[in-house]
């Protein structure tokens, strides 16, 4: 393993202000073959999972980034003197899921899926930057169109929208629920 | 950001089982699921009941247990172990309406959504009762429109339970949200551009400005002579005054306007000089009696 | 060496926004003897100097912090330059909003809307090609007149300026929030 490349990649992931994409890495490390970069990142990520390490390199939001491990949440919060992070409300998560799977969507389409008005949840999600307005639909009233943001991927630890729970996973959950009923 | 519905249940936090009434969370929805959703034993035949400690205002609490009418319908369908693709509309409509009738208090906003689905159920029921000569083709089933919505909603809810699991892991992992070293020169506090930010920012500015403008009316009266003296003293003390900065430093528009006319008067009477050096800069004003500066700019 | 303590200390140094002092560390890790903490930090720092690591733990400013190694300075700067291109400051955003909704406008009109001088932001926006100069106003001083560019529309996924969210639409989203909070 190329130690020098590994060290360099670690430094770059550390200073990056957002998940460091393979494309950016390649742009900075011009001339280094993509497979070598890939191998270096993967070695780093694997090593960071070792015992005795409290910060690991994870893949999320389309790139690589540093994060603390879940086990240290309590102490981290004590140091930063902040409360436990709020989960999204059920309404917020439902709205987010509807957008994630049906994007690009309008407010009324989301409300139709949920059966309830979703304007309030949209505002919450916009504030949290989990969704964004991407334009207008060519339809009567030209409603605003929503999409999930890069923050959304990061928030749920997804690398891309392809990482959303698949039809098969969803079907499995529904099966389980029915099995419990029977 | 506070949870917008602290009394709503984090249904997706745990797999929802059809024979189990959704249960009232003991804490805010921010709790981790292990802590938040300890299912209370519930009589299978019973509808969801609020847990102890929750004010028993009946309908309010009961309906808040559900995210909406589709959630309630799904609950009823599962409770009866009904095939979602073959819903006995008459029975489900009866159950659904029975549920709505338990209300003791009406929240109009939420009520409308529940009533809308009730109307849809009754409409479907009426369509089913119409005498027909031949059996309906599958695509013509009047229930179709409802079934499609329920199936989609069911999938969204199932996805939610998977996403909630991810959220629970991610929320415990801390990423650095401050700008790391080596930032160099550049713009502080980077913000990504979004249409919502853009629009919100504009209307917030306009509001701020309207508020400022409102204050103007109540602004104190400023005699021109007083302002003129103030301005000359300032020019003498500072040498050069940035016009825009000076203009904006005033509490009221009236006061600012008086200053503006004072400057015009001073320039007109050749006591002061006003110059705009470059296109991107504001107007700088200074007194003419400073021979050095006057010479340099004329 | 206590691996769990080491991991915890690493997580804490990582999230701390300023050099983490031994006192803060001890306060968060109440009950852990100072010598043990000290030993853990020193072990971490020593390990981080290994080859193949690009981020090390150093003692600076009265405490411990993560920093990249000097050897990677050039690449780190190159990365940050690439990243900065996509960003807009909040001053830039406000200026852009003022132009978007009030175009065609002059610099002083923009400054009047914002309540602060907007000269710097205008330059930035011109550089990023989000706005353009379209001429001069027939008014005293013949000030330059600004408009948003085609790139601006493209960036936001809008067909035309008529598609910008209206005050009523934004107000509706914002009001909803109040109703939810009430």
Task: Check A114 against B149: CB less than 8 A apart.
Answer: no
Question: How far does the CA of residue C68 sit from the closest CA of chain A (Å)?
Answer: 5
Collect the ranges in chain C with pLDDT lower than 50: 178-182
Number of alpha carbons in the 13 Å side-chain half-sphere of residue C124: 20
Collect the ranges in chain B with pLDDT lower than 50: 1-61, 180-192, 216-219, 278-280, 290-298
> Are B297 and B273 a contacting pair, CB within 8 Å?
yes
Residue matched to tokens 């159950």: B95
Shared domain for B59 and B207, answered yes or no, is: no
Q: What's the mean per-residue pLDDT of chain B?
A: 65
Shared domain for B10 and B48, answered yes or no, is: yes
Compute the radius of gyration of chain C from its Cα atoms: 26
Shared domain for B142 and B51, answered yes or no, is: yes
- Please tell me the distance from the alpha carbon of residue C51 to that of residue A6, in angstroms, as a whole number: 9
Domain regions of chain C by residue span: 3-80, 90-181
> Are B65 and B135 a contacting pair, CB within 8 Å?
no
- Please tell me the distance from the alpha carbon of residue B86 to that of residue B143, in angstroms, as a whole number: 8
Interface test with B, best of C10, C54, C92, C117 (most B CBs within 10 A): C117
Residue B287: strand, helix, or coil: strand
Residue of chain A whose alpha carbon sits nearest to that of B192: A129
Q: Is C67 on the interface with B (CB under 8 A)?
A: yes
pLDDT in tens, A48-64: 999 889 999 999 999 99
Provide the domain count of chain B: 2
Pick A7's closest partner by Cβ from C10, C69, C80.
C69
pLDDT of A26: 94
Residue matched to tokens 């060519």: A138
The strand pair at C131-136 and C55-60 is best described as unpaired
pLDDT of A28: 94
pLDDT of B98: 84
Residue of chain B whose alpha carbon sits nearest to that of A88: B3
Question: How far does the CA of residue B216 sit from the closest CA of chain A (Å)?
Answer: 33
Chain C environment of B205 (Cβ under 8 Å) = 94, 97-98, 113-115
The strand pair at C144-148 and C131-136 is best described as antiparallel
Task: Check B184 against C98: CB less than 8 A apart.
Answer: no
List the one residue out of B134, B17, B146 whose CA is nearest residue B92.
B146
Say if domain A3-80 classifies as CATH 1.10.12.10. Answer: no
What is the token pair recorded at A170?
């969803």
Residue of chain B whose alpha carbon sits nearest to that of A56: B173
Pick A68's closest partner by Cβ from B9, B12, B174.
B174
Average pLDDT, integer, range A132-152: 89
Strand order in the sheet with A105-106: A105-106, A144-148, A131-136
Q: Does position A72 have pLDDT exceeding 90, yes or no?
A: yes
pLDDT in tens, C132-148: 999 888 888 888 999 99
DSSP-derived letter for residue A67 is E
Pick C79's closest partner by Cβ from A16, A53, A78.
A16
Q: Do the domain assignments include residue B183?
A: no
For the domain bounded by C90-181, which CATH number is listed? 1.10.10.10
pLDDT of A79: 93
Residue of chain A whose alpha carbon sits nearest to that of B195: A133
**Fold: same for A3-80 and A90-181:** yes
Residue C68: strand, helix, or coil: strand
Quickly list H helices, B20-172. 33-36, 59-64, 69-79, 89-101, 108-129, 144-170
Angular region, B72: left φ>0, alpha ψ -120 to 50, beta rest: alpha
pLDDT of B134: 66
Q: What is the pTM of this model?
A: 0.65
Q: Is A12 on the interface with B (CB under 8 A)?
A: no
Interface test with B, best of C77, C101, C105, C124 (most B CBs within 10 A): C101
Chain C environment of A141 (Cβ under 8 Å) = none
Residue A86: strand, helix, or coil: coil
Shared domain for B60 and B145, answered yes or no, is: yes
List the one residue out of A159, A163, A161 whose CA is nearest residue A45.
A159
Residue with the bigger pLDDT between C182 and A164: it is A164
> Are B259 and B231 a contacting pair, CB within 8 Å?
yes
Shared domain for B258 and B122, answered yes or no, is: no
Chain A environment of B29 (Cβ under 8 Å) = 86-90
What is the token pair recorded at A154?
């990061």
pLDDT of B107: 58
Q: Do the domain assignments include residue B180?
A: no
pLDDT of B176: 80
Q: Do the domain assignments include residue B178?
A: no
DSSP-derived letter for residue A89 is P
Residue of chain A whose alpha carbon sits nearest to that of C163: A136
State the residue range of the domain holding B243.
191-211+219-297
Distances in Å between the alpha carbon of B171 and those of A82, A158, C53? 13, 13, 27
């Amino acid at each position: 393993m190329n130690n020098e490349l590994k060290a360099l990649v670690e430094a770059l992931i550390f200073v990056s202000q957002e998940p460091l994409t393979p494309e950016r890495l390649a742009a900075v490390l011009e001339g280094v073959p993509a497979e070598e970069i890939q191998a270096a990142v993967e070695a780093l990520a694997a090593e960071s999972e070792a015992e005795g390490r409290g910060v690991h390199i994870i893949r999320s939001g389309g790139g690589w980034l540093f994060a603390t491990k879940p086990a240290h949440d309590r102490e981290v919060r004590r140091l930063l003197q902040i409360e436990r992070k709020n989960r999204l409300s059920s309404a917020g998560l439902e709205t987010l899921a509807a957008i994630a799977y049906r994007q690009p969507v309008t407010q009324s389409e989301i409300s139709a899926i949920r059966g309830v008005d979703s304007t309030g949840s949209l505002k919450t999600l916009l504030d949290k930057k989990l969704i964004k307005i991407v334009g207008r639909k060519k339809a009567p009233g030209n409603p605003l169109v929503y999409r999930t943001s890069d923050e959304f991927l990061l928030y749920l630890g997804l690398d891309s929208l392809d990482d959303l729970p698949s039809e098969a996973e969803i079907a499995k959950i529904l099966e389980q629920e029915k099995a419990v009923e029977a | 950001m506070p949870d917008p519905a602290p009394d709503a249940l984090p249904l997706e936090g745990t797999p929802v089982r059809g024979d189990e009434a959704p249960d009232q969370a003991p804490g805010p929805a921010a709790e981790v699921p292990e802590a938040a959703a300890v299912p209370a034993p519930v009589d299978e035949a019973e509808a969801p009941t609020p847990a102890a400690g929750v004010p028993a205002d009946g309908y309010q609490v009961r309906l808040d247990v559900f995210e909406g009418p589709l959630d309630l319908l799904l609950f009823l369908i599962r409770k009866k172990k009904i095939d979602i693709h073959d819903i006995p509309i008459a029975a489900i409509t009866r159950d659904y309406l029975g549920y709505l009738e338990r209300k003791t208090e009406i929240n109009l906003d939420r009520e409308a959504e529940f009533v809308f689905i009730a109307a849809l159920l009754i409409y479907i029921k009426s369509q089913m009762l119409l005498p027909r000569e031949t059996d309906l083709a599958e695509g013509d089933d009047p229930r179709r429109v409802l079934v499609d919505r329920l199936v989609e909603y069911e999938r969204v809810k199932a996805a939610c339970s998977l996403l909630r699991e991810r959220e629970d892991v991610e929320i415990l992992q801390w990423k650095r949200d401050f700008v790391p070293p080596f930032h160099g020169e550049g713009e502080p506090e980077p913000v990504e551009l979004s249409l919502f930010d853009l629009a919100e920012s504009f209307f917030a500015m306009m509001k701020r400005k309207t508020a400022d403008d409102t204050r103007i009316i109540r602004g104190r009266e400023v005699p021109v002579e007083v302002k003129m003296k103030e301005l000359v003293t300032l020019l003498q003390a500072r040498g050069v005054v940035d016009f825009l900065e000076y203009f904006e430093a005033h509490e009221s528009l009236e006061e600012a306007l008086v200053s503006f006319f004072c400057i015009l008067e001073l320039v007109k009477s050749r006591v002061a000089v006003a110059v705009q050096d470059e296109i991107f800069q504001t107007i700088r004003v200074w007194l003419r009696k400073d021979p050095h500066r006057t010479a340099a700019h004329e």
